[in-house]
Structures are given as C-alpha cells and as structure tokens.
Amino acid sequence: MTLDKKGRLEELPFMPQMFQYCGQRFQVYKRAHKTCDWVYTSRSRWLKNGIHLSLRCDGEVYGGCKAGCLIYWKEAWLKPINASNKSAVISEQSANSILPSPPLPLSPSVSSCTEADVLVGTRADDRGETSEAVYICQGTHLPNFTTAIPRWDIRQYIYDFTSGNATIGRMFRGFVYAGYFRLIYSRFRLGSSLIWLYDRFQGLWGGIPYPRRTGSIPVGQPTPTSDLNLQPGELVRMKSYQEILPTLDTRGKNRGLYFDAEMVPYCGGTYRVRSRLDKFIDEKTGKLVTLRKACILLEGVWCQSKYSQCRMFCPRSIYSWWHEVWLERVPQGGIENNG
C-alpha cells in the first residue's frame, strides 16, 4: 500500500483513470525530476522520484476536461521489466499493489485507502451541495507535491542530462538562446539590432526566426478569427510565423490566447487534429472552464521548453492550444509531420 487516505503519495494524487493502466507495460517518456509551475511562478520545481510515461489524462472524472495533461507517476508505482532495458517499465501488477487487497485490521495511526477514496479525492473537501464543483487533480495540486528550485541551483541541468531528458547539443543551444535573450532585453538597448542579427544567422541554415515577437493590433481591438470546424483525425497545416503575426495584438494574443514562443518551431508543418478543446480545469481555482470557441490540440504538438525562461528542458510537454485562424485544412493525401 502506497497511498494515504486521500489517495496520495507524498502529496501526489493517484488519479482514478490511472487504475486502468495497472499491470500493463509502457515505455518511459521522461524522468520527471522537475516540472514547471506555469500558473503561479512560471518557474521550475523539484519533484521527488517522478516519472512520465507516454500516458495522458482523459479528463473523464474531471468534468470532461480536454487539456490532455501528461500524468505523473511515482517510482513506487512502477517497476523495471529488466535491467538491460532501463527505459521500459511495467506498472504494478494490479490495483492491489497500490491499494490494500482485502480489508485488514489497522492501527488508528494507519490509513487504509480504497478506490472509492481515490475518487472522492478528486473533489475539494469544502464543496457544497449546490456550489460549483472544485476539482483536485495532479495539475491543481502541483505546488503541494513539488518544491521550488532556486535560480542558482544547477543540479537540475545535470539531472536533465544524466537522466537522458536532454542531450548536450540541445542544452548548449538552450543556454546560448537564454544568454542571447537576456542580452536583447538588457540595458544596452540593442534589441532590434540583435533580433535582426539573430534572424540573419538562423536564415543561413534554415533555422527558426526569433520566436518572441508580438503583433501590431492595438489591445482591445478585434483580432482576426476563422471557423473551420476542424475535427479529430483531420490534417491541418500550421500557417507560417509571418502569416500568424498579423493576427496578434501588441501583447502577442488573439482573443485572449497567447501565441507562445514554443509554438513557433511547429509553424509551417502539417499535423493531425487530436481533439477540440472546449473545456479545461483552471489549475489555480480547480473549476471547470468552458471556452466560448473551442481551441485545437494537435498530435505531437506540445511545449518543448526551448524558449521558456526559468523552465528550460521541462519534461511536462503541455499541449499547445491553437486558434483555427492559425491553421488551414489540408486536402486528403497531405503528408503528416512526425511531431
């Protein structure tokens, strides 16, 4: 038994949809020795003994949330298949490995957790009969099972490399970009010239242009929209960065949705629609939010933490949200990117 009465291990919730994977084999996606808090501090945080498999939350017990977040697993819930393949793991043989099997007499100091307790643990304790549901999931509870990483603590980058999460080449490029970014916004006021130089250098080898630009539409003025009614399984082409910039206001947003730098590497590619995101759990309040107009999630298109200051090499891989005005439908027979 690894869970307390609230269905948590070291404050990390074991969510009900995770039971369906018990006894199955999965490949390790990345080690989750750290993760990002993009709600409160926009910084990285330590997570003890964390693992990411290629499994995402289906949102069924959370009001139908469509965000598709990557699930956190504790090493105590997993075991290696064999020593020669360290990246392959198998979840514990059954729910009884995580929960106690038959009820046994326990001392008052020991809590017994059941599947019903895990389900109850998905809601806040103080909710009323008529009040709006307040959910508790791994995303909403993240500050409780992680700890802050000080800016000066370079151990995170050592673990990024030794865990296999990031290669030397990727880390080198990330640090070069981070240093250049700080220089652009330094007191020397050479931003425009440095951005021009960045684009020229990247253009020599077909690299990605400077990814942190904003549009020209004044804040408060309408931004362009489109209604393609895209459906799961369809192929779409992402418009080029230069085509998307005119749809953004001076804060880099279109109808309140920020076009993040992490989306720029995907521009111009062709990807398959994963789902229409029309509701999600607000990780700050725990409440279910319904969007007036659905956003689009695309297969294999998520944050790679290439350009995120203070969150470099984060393994969380949050799906990027796309407005349909940034996409265009591809006729049948189009070639899909691998993601």
Tell me: pLDDT of 83 over 70: no
Which residues are CB-neighbours of 236 under 8 A, at least 6 positions away? 228, 230, 270, 271, 272, 273, 296, 298, 327, 328, 329, 330
pLDDT (0 to 100) of residue 336:
81
pLDDT band at 214 (very low <50, low <70, confident <90, very high): very high
What per-residue confidence (pLDDT) applies to 85?
A: 59
In which band, very low, low, confident or very high, does the pLDDT at 110 lie, cut at 50, 70 and 90? very low
**Pair of tokens at residue 184:** 């652009």
Which whole number is the average pLDDT over 74-99? 67
pTM, 2 dp: 0.89
pLDDT for 272-326, tens place per residue?
Answer: 999 999 999 999 999 999 999 999 999 999 999 999 878 899 999 999 999 999 9
Of the candidates 303, 238, 34, the residue with the CA atom closest to the CA atom of residue 155? 34
* Extents of the domains making up the chain: 8-148, 166-210, 213-339
Residue 77 predicted with pLDDT over 50: yes
Rounded CA separation 121/62 (Å): 11
Higher pLDDT, residue 35 or 129: 35
Give CA 234 to chain center in angstroms: 23
* pLDDT above 70 coverage of the chain, percent: 88
User: pLDDT tens digits, residue range 312-337?
Assistant: 999 999 999 999 999 999 987 677 88
Residue pair 220/255 in contact by the 8 Å Cβ criterion: no
Question: Could you give the C-alpha distances from 3 to 9, 34, 210, in angstroms and in order?
Answer: 5, 21, 46
Tell me the percentage of the chain whose pLDDT exceeds 90.
Answer: 76
Is the pLDDT confidence value at 263 over 50? yes
Q: Mean pLDDT throughout 45-74? A: 96
CATH of region 213-339, choose from 2.30.30, 2.60.120, 2.40.30, 3.30.420: 2.30.30
What is the pLDDT of the chain when averaged over all its residues? 89
The closest of 36, 19, 329 to 165, measured between CA atoms, is 36
pLDDT at 129: 54
User: Does 155 score more than 60 pLDDT?
Assistant: yes
